[in-house]
Amino acid sequence: MSASGPTERSILVSVPNAPGIENRLKPLGLDVLAAWKDRVYIVAGDADLRSLENAALSFRPELGRTLSPGSVAAASGGLNGAYHTYKELEADLLALQQKYPAIAKVFVLGESLEGRRIYALKISDNVEREEAQAQVLILGCHHAREWISVEVPFLWGKYLAENYATNPEVKRLVDRSEVWIVPLVNPDGLEYTIHAYRYWRKNRRDNGGGQFGVDLNRNYEYKWGLDAVGSSADPSSAIYRGAAPFSEPETRAVRDLFLKKDFRALVSYHSFSQVILYPWSYTDLPSDRDAELRDIAVEMSDRIKAVNGRLYKPGQSGKDLYLSNGDTTDWTFGLSGIPSYTIELPPIDELLGGFFNREEDIAPIFQENLPALIYLLDRTVQNYRPSLQNPFDLRDFLFRSRRTGAILN
């Protein structure tokens, strides 16, 4: 996409959903919204329209078109209804900390380009201390228009805090882990989708020449800028990777948290497609731990389906969805080898709502994802072994070893 909003000459267009169209569109770096019935819908700016013309792809404007008639409920609580704004999320995170101070603590990881704070919520017993425990990281809203990807991580933290005192399973998991949740990686972009342009995807980096935004999920270091298919060097593109790896304060905030901790599993929430994806994203070739990653994804998929009957199809990202480079899960998996997943939340296609989930869909989507999150956290706890690379783990290892006589003074 070559523009930051309607005033910057971006329009909705469609091309025929003909055989082989996906392969023809992939190299163009377009902001493809969805394939619906016999058309593929694209948010396009001037440069994108020229790309379509140069590729001999016939397109038509879809001005004023609503892709899913009747599927989007009117907002009942402001511009974005039951979905969080930046300030509402800030207030709700701080309220959790105030109500459950023993197990919930809010951290400021950094600030966005426009000066909004990037918050992390830590849930753990002895929340003020750093302990040698299983650490899990949950991320939301790299892409601004994916409002539901804020809600699921936030509700996960809220669920753990509210049920710690009464649910033995929750207490056991929280007592043996540190759950870190960053529900809003891209606060500037989110606010822009609320107040200016609902389809906006990137952050709000001013790239000059009337072009705005970096795709934060193409700005991580691993295989950054590998090719022009999985990301773009063109600032007008929807998948513009930025000037350098971690050029954006939002991705640096995630990076710095990750490097300070010893995370053993990660989920990055997105929408929409209803899939559970694992590395690699930069290639369609499998990693050397493909079987393990797939087994975990299948188990999460099965647990989700058991709730509402919805299938989140598991698969390798670069093979089963599309190629991308510089993305979050490739970086965390490539750096530390931990199970790393992108979960694309419902719906499965534009006909059922696309980025426009109804407000009443928030709770069911969280509830169906809850068993998968519990499973992943429990698996991480059960498989946790201290790493000698972590000073807190080393201290714990030495302490326990002396108690058992394994190390002699």
Which helix (H) or strand (E) segment holds residue 211: the answer is strand 211-212
Three-state SS at 213: coil
| H helix runs in 11-119, sequence order | 21-25, 46-54, 86-99
Q: Which of 36-45, 79-88, 309-318, 376-385 has the lowest mean pLDDT?
A: 36-45
How remote is the C-alpha of 78 from its chain's centroid? 25
> What is the pLDDT at residue 36?
66
Q: Under a CB-based contact definition with an 8 Å cutoff, are residues 184 and 86 in contact?
A: yes
> What is the pLDDT at residue 75?
38
Q: Under a CB-based contact definition with an 8 Å cutoff, are residues 370 and 361 in contact?
A: no
> What is the pLDDT at residue 27?
81
- pLDDT at 298 exceeding the cut of 70: yes
What is the overall mean pLDDT for the chain? 87
Q: Which residue type, as a one-letter code, is found at position 331?
A: W
Burial class of residue 84 in the structure, from the number of CB atoms within 10 Å of its CB (0-12 exposed, 13-18 middle, 19+ buried): buried
Kindly state the average pLDDT of the residues 172-198.
95
Q: How far apart are CA 140 and CA 150, in angstroms?
A: 5
> What is the pLDDT at residue 10?
66
For residues 146 and 25, the model is more confident at: 146
Q: Give the model's confidence band at 160: pLDDT under 50 very low, under 70 low, under 90 confident, else very high.
A: very high
- Reply yes or no on whether 131 is catalytic: no
Kindly state the average pLDDT of the residues 232-241.
92
Q: What's the alpha-carbon Rg for the chain, to the nearest Å?
A: 21
Three-state SS at 301: helix
Residue with tokens 């109804």: 358
Q: How far apart are CA 260 and CA 24, in angstroms?
A: 42
Q: Under a CB-based contact definition with an 8 Å cutoff, are residues 359 and 353 in contact?
A: no
Domain ranges in the chain are: 6-61, 86-382
Q: Please give the backbone phi and psi of residue 401, each rounded to the nearest 5 degrees, phi first.
A: -65, -40
- For the domain made up of 6-61, the CATH class stated in words is alpha beta
Q: How far apart are CA 166 and CA 173, in angstroms?
A: 13
Longest CA–CA separation in the chain, Å? 78
Q: How far apart are CA 271 and CA 365, in angstroms?
A: 11
Look up residue 379 and give its two tokens.
Answer: 């698996």
Catalytically annotated residue among 178, 344, 350, 359: 344
Residue with tokens 């919930």: 104
Per-residue pLDDT reduced to its tens digit, 330-352? 999 999 999 999 999 998 766 55
Q: Under a CB-based contact definition with an 8 Å cutoff, are residues 284 and 316 in contact?
A: yes
CATH architecture, domain 86-382: 3-Layer(aba) Sandwich (3.40)
% residues pLDDT > 70 (the chain)? 86
Q: How far apart are CA 177 and CA 172, in angstroms?
A: 9
- pLDDT at 74 exceeding the cut of 50: no
The two beta strands, 31-36 and 39-44, are antiparallel
> What is the pLDDT at residue 380?
98
CA distances from 170 to 138, 160, 261, 302 (A): 17, 6, 22, 21
Look up residue 151 and give its two tokens.
Answer: 């809600």
- pLDDT at 308 exceeding the cut of 90: yes
- pLDDT at 401 exceeding the cut of 80: no
Look up residue 99 and give its two tokens.
Answer: 């109500």
Apex 154 CA angle, 148 and 158, nearest 5:
135
pTM for this entry: 0.83
Per-residue pLDDT reduced to its tens digit, 83-106? 999 999 999 999 999 999 999 999
